Amino acid sequence: MSKYWSSITKSVEPYVCGEQPKDKKYIKLNTNESPYGPSPKVLNAIKSTADENLSLYPDPGCDKLREVISCYYGLGKDQIFVGNGSDEVLAMCFMAFFNKGEPIIFPDISYSFYPVYANLYNIDYKLAKLNEDFSIPVEEFLTKNGGVVLPNPNAPTGKCIETEGIKKILKSNQDKVVIIDEAYVDFGGNSVVGLIKSYPNLLVVQTLSKSRSLAGLRVGFALGQEQLIEGLNRIKNSFNSYTVNRVSNAAAIAAIEDEDYFKKCVGKIIDTRELTVSRLKKLGFKVVPSKANFIFITNPEYAAEELFRKLREKGVLVRYFNKERINNYLRVSIGSEKDMDIFIEKIEEIIK
Amino acid sequence: MSKYWSSITKSVEPYVCGEQPKDKKYIKLNTNESPYGPSPKVLNAIKSTADENLSLYPDPGCDKLREVISCYYGLGKDQIFVGNGSDEVLAMCFMAFFNKGEPIIFPDISYSFYPVYANLYNIDYKLAKLNEDFSIPVEEFLTKNGGVVLPNPNAPTGKCIETEGIKKILKSNQDKVVIIDEAYVDFGGNSVVGLIKSYPNLLVVQTLSKSRSLAGLRVGFALGQEQLIEGLNRIKNSFNSYTVNRVSNAAAIAAIEDEDYFKKCVGKIIDTRELTVSRLKKLGFKVVPSKANFIFITNPEYAAEELFRKLREKGVLVRYFNKERINNYLRVSIGSEKDMDIFIEKIEEIIK
């Protein structure tokens, strides 16, 4: 604590991201990255930006990128907002749409950055307790609130919310913004982008970090009707005019355009996920049904914390949350087939 | 105005950045970019990051980059904070160190993003009126305040503050943070990085956008004692864990390391500035003494707004601020020698 810190700096509880260890090479199944590199077209796009134009500011409005995203989703260009990773986009959403004194709602088990954003901006929040099977208790979101944040599929559970449930929440909150965080939707989830035209209070947030293999480049975006996008732009242009640099811009355009590569990678990850799930079940694990690029697993006979530690010793990193209700679960990102073979092999060694 | 906007979104007055026109090719002297591309070593570093590792998150702490910067400036690694452009770093500084109800001070004629940040975080501010010659009225900063922001050299004037004046301000504000924004210091200004060891309340902000020709890549940094850097990290880790992507990281490291290229570019820009100043003076212009990569000029016989407009028609973009006290001035970035030949030629055509 320092006398120089603002009251906000003193009160925040910063997010702790998944380990990026430097001590040795791990099978890295802890931060939901893609096991496949970005499209070769993305790599070429990056190389082609490495020229003298880098001395010039990027396009602050990211016009071309927004155009490509808008075509892909069948929306207008003014219905797209892009940012430096979906974390930044979410941070700006909290500032743009939520007010102090009007508690927002998000699930008790969810992306652990949401309460951090809320604390940063001094926004009160209520936690909706997930049902025992980790499904979303839709009724909890139909009470009076200052806004809603829902990841679909949820993290770290991987479980989806049915579109009908989301519609109910949207209808019940017509004066407040409902943010659906679709970071993992491309791995088999039900996107609600199609609802944007009917619901002016719906904002969908997506990222290129997972399904498009670009965690290292930081590009995320929000989709919604014009007035929500304008609100985000007002915040962004009061914070940093140029949040997406020239290289990220060009790479993101190439990533969205290369749909074949995207579909191939996503298909492989889904196949590997299903195979991994069946193997884990044979080993006595319970697996939450996942539509994400990770699975949430527990074993009635082995403590998750111990499995986490032993896997780490054996060179496999997974994510363990020491948190009520989920402290006997592990979140395991879906790696390559070979990664998952090693993961299963190590699990077998541990529980044999 | 939308019912979905937060009270902050409704009240902010977003920054308007210099034109990035797409209608035709201009001689671009309006956003203080470098006329020289980045170092060839930077371009190689970018190309070498274009590989499968881009599917992995970047190092959230930017360890290597902070190490390189700390060596360059003779500071500790924990005295360095990096961000997605110095605009982002400044935005985080306002949040990290300033409080509502404790008015901060910055000059009335200065970087026009400062009042925008203050409004974003609801921080009150007082404007210190520059002296008639655009020098900083040091006494104005010795009154009770909630913090100080001072660009040195100042923008858009290009004028420096003497180190003795900054020392007085630091001594008078020992419980509050004094931010010296050194975005343009490499073009001949007096950096106060050397004072960091003696003043725990001093934070220096710099950027790679100007003197290191990387405006398109967005890397800025702050230098200060550990507790200030820790405060910034608390805010950053409550907003976006990974603000600097893998490509920017690698490019920034190469840029700081290639000191020869940096010195060569800066030297050329200084020479071109001095030549341009002498030519403008011969044409009857008054030029504020500049230690930046731009000059602030006025001509008693020609309205600046008209010159701005006519230059634009002739394909030369400069910056005009329609703002009290400086609405008869133009800010002209220093381009290449050839750019400035054309600029002078067009000026001659207009005022002949």
ipTM: 0.96
Closest-CA residue of chain B to A228 = B4
| Chain B hits for A237, Cβ within 8 Å | 14-16
B14 vs A175, A213, A238: nearest CB = A238
Interface check for B58 against chain A (CB to CB < 8 A): the answer is yes
Q: Which residues in chain B (254-313) have CB-CB distances under 8 A to chain A?
A: none
Peptide bond into B200 cis (omega under 30): no
A20 vs B54, B59, B228: nearest CB = B59
Least Cα distance to A214 among A275, A261, A160, A179 occurs for A261
| Chain B hits for A2, Cβ within 8 Å | 227-228, 230-231
Q: How far is A157 from chain B (nearest CA, A)?
A: 21
Exposed, middle or buried by CB within 10 Å (0-12, 13-18, 19+), for A322? exposed
Interface check for A187 against chain B (CB to CB < 8 A): the answer is no
Interface check for A43 against chain B (CB to CB < 8 A): the answer is yes
| Cβ–Cβ below 8 Å for A4 and B33 | no
**Taking CA A322 as the corner, what is the angle to CA A320 and CA A326, rounded to the nearest 5 degrees?**
80
Q: How far is B101 from chain A (nearest CA, A)?
A: 11
| Chain A hits for B209, Cβ within 8 Å | 57
pLDDT at residue A348 greater than cutoff 80? yes
What is d(CA A116, CA A133) in angstroms, rounded to the nearest whole number? 25
Peptide bond into A156 cis (omega under 30): yes
Interface check for A173 against chain B (CB to CB < 8 A): the answer is no
Instruction: For residue A22, name the pLDDT band (cuts at 50, 70, 90).
Output: confident
Exposed, middle or buried by CB within 10 Å (0-12, 13-18, 19+), for B322? exposed
pLDDT at residue A20 greater than cutoff 90? no
pLDDT at residue A263 greater than cutoff 80? yes
pLDDT tens digits in sequence order for chain B, 352 residues long: 899 999 999 999 999 887 777 777 899 999 999 999 999 999 999 999 999 999 999 999 999 999 999 999 999 999 999 999 999 999 999 999 999 999 999 999 999 999 999 999 999 999 999 999 999 999 999 999 999 999 999 999 999 999 999 999 999 999 999 999 999 999 999 999 999 999 999 999 999 999 999 999 999 999 999 999 999 999 999 999 999 999 999 999 999 999 999 999 999 999 999 999 999 999 999 999 999 999 999 999 999 999 999 999 999 999 999 999 999 999 999 999 999 999 999 999 999 8
Q: How far is A275 from chain B (nearest CA, A)?
A: 22
User: Facing residues of B223 across strands?
Assistant: B80, B204
What is d(CA A217, CA B163) in angstroms, rounded to the nearest whole number? 39
The H or E element that residue A81 is part of is strand A80-83
The two beta strands, B330-333 and B80-83, are unpaired
A4 vs B53, B217, B227: nearest CB = B227
Confidence (pLDDT) at B147: 98
| Cβ–Cβ below 8 Å for B17 and A99 | no
Interface check for A228 against chain B (CB to CB < 8 A): the answer is yes
What is d(CA B56, CA B43) in angstroms, rounded to the nearest whole number? 21
Per-residue pLDDT reduced to its tens digit, A61-115: 999 999 999 999 999 999 999 999 999 999 999 999 999 999 999 999 999 999 9
Tell which of A39, A43, A56, A211 to mutate to test the B interface (max B CBs under 10 Å).
A56
| Cβ–Cβ below 8 Å for B95 and A235 | no
| Chain B hits for A231, Cβ within 8 Å | 2, 4-6, 9
Has domain A7-37+260-351 been given CATH number 3.90.1150.10? yes
Looking at domain A40-258, its CATH architecture is 3-Layer(aba) Sandwich (3.40)
| Cβ–Cβ below 8 Å for B246 and A57 | no
Least Cα distance to A346 among A283, A287, A294 occurs for A283
Interface check for B207 against chain A (CB to CB < 8 A): the answer is no
Dihedral angle sign, alpha carbons of residues A259, A261, A262, A263: positive
In chain B, which residue ranges form alpha helices assigned H by DSSP? 7-11, 40-49, 63-73, 86-97, 114-120, 163-172, 226-236, 246-257, 259-282, 304-313, 337-351
| Chain B hits for A251, Cβ within 8 Å | 54
- Start-end ranges of CATH 3.40.640.10 in chain A? 40-258
Confidence (pLDDT) at B321: 93
Find where tokens 């924004």 sit: B181
What is d(CA B71, CA B94) in angstroms, rounded to the nearest whole number? 27
| Cβ–Cβ below 8 Å for B227 and A97 | no
Interface check for A174 against chain B (CB to CB < 8 A): the answer is no
What backbone torsions phi and psi does residue A148 show, to the nearest 5 degrees?
A: -135, 140
Confidence (pLDDT) at B22: 76
- Start-end ranges of CATH 3.90.1150.10 in chain A? 7-37+260-351
What backbone torsions phi and psi does residue A87 show, to the nearest 5 degrees?
A: -60, -45
Q: How far is A269 from chain B (nearest CA, A)?
A: 14
| Cβ–Cβ below 8 Å for B230 and A7 | no
| Cβ–Cβ below 8 Å for A57 and B213 | no
CB B38 within 8 A of CB B251: yes
Interface check for B322 against chain A (CB to CB < 8 A): the answer is no
Interface check for A342 against chain B (CB to CB < 8 A): the answer is no
In chain A, which residue ranges form alpha helices assigned H by DSSP? 7-11, 40-49, 63-73, 86-97, 114-120, 163-172, 226-236, 246-257, 259-282, 304-313, 337-351
Task: Please count the residue pairs, one from chain A and one from chain B, whose beta carbons lie less than 8 angstroms apart.
Answer: 277
Question: Rounded to 10 degrees, what is the CA torsion of A221, A224, A229, A232?
Answer: -60
What length is written for chain A?
A: 352
**Tokens in use for B108?**
């009335």
Instruction: For residue A24, name the pLDDT band (cuts at 50, 70, 90).
Output: confident
Interface check for B47 against chain A (CB to CB < 8 A): the answer is yes
Interface check for B53 against chain A (CB to CB < 8 A): the answer is yes
Confidence (pLDDT) at A310: 97
DSSP annotation of B114: H
Exposed, middle or buried by CB within 10 Å (0-12, 13-18, 19+), for B184? buried
Confidence (pLDDT) at A198: 98
Residue A118 to residues A90, A98, A100, A176, Cα–Cα distance (Å)? 11, 9, 9, 16
| Chain B hits for A39, Cβ within 8 Å | none
Least Cα distance to B125 among B230, B13, B239 occurs for B13
CB B223 within 8 A of CB B79: yes
| Cβ–Cβ below 8 Å for B33 and A245 | no
**Tokens in use for B232?**
């910034």
What is d(CA A180, CA B245) in angstroms, rounded to the nearest whole number? 25
A217 vs B5, B54, B243: nearest CB = B54
Count the neighbouring beta carbons within 10 Å of the beta carbon of residue B348: 11
Tell which of B33, B36, B42, B56 to mutate to test the A interface (max A CBs under 10 Å).
B56
- Residue burial B25-42, b: 16+ Cβ < 10 Å; e: rest: ebbbbbbbbbbbbbbebb
Residue B94 CA, chain-centre distance (Å), reads: 15
CB A288 within 8 A of CB A159: yes
Find where tokens 């090479």 sit: A25
Residue A25 CA, chain-centre distance (Å), reads: 25
| Cβ–Cβ below 8 Å for B245 and A200 | no
| Cβ–Cβ below 8 Å for B233 and A117 | no
Residue B282 CA, chain-centre distance (Å), reads: 29
**Tokens in use for B161?**
């503050």
| Chain A hits for B230, Cβ within 8 Å | 2
- Residues ≥6 apart with Cβ < 8 Å to B51: A37, A43
Q: Which residues in chain A (91-150) have CB-CB distances under 8 A to chain B?
A: 91, 95-99, 116-117, 119-120
Per-residue pLDDT reduced to its tens digit, B307-349: 999 999 999 999 999 999 999 999 999 999 999 999 999 999 9
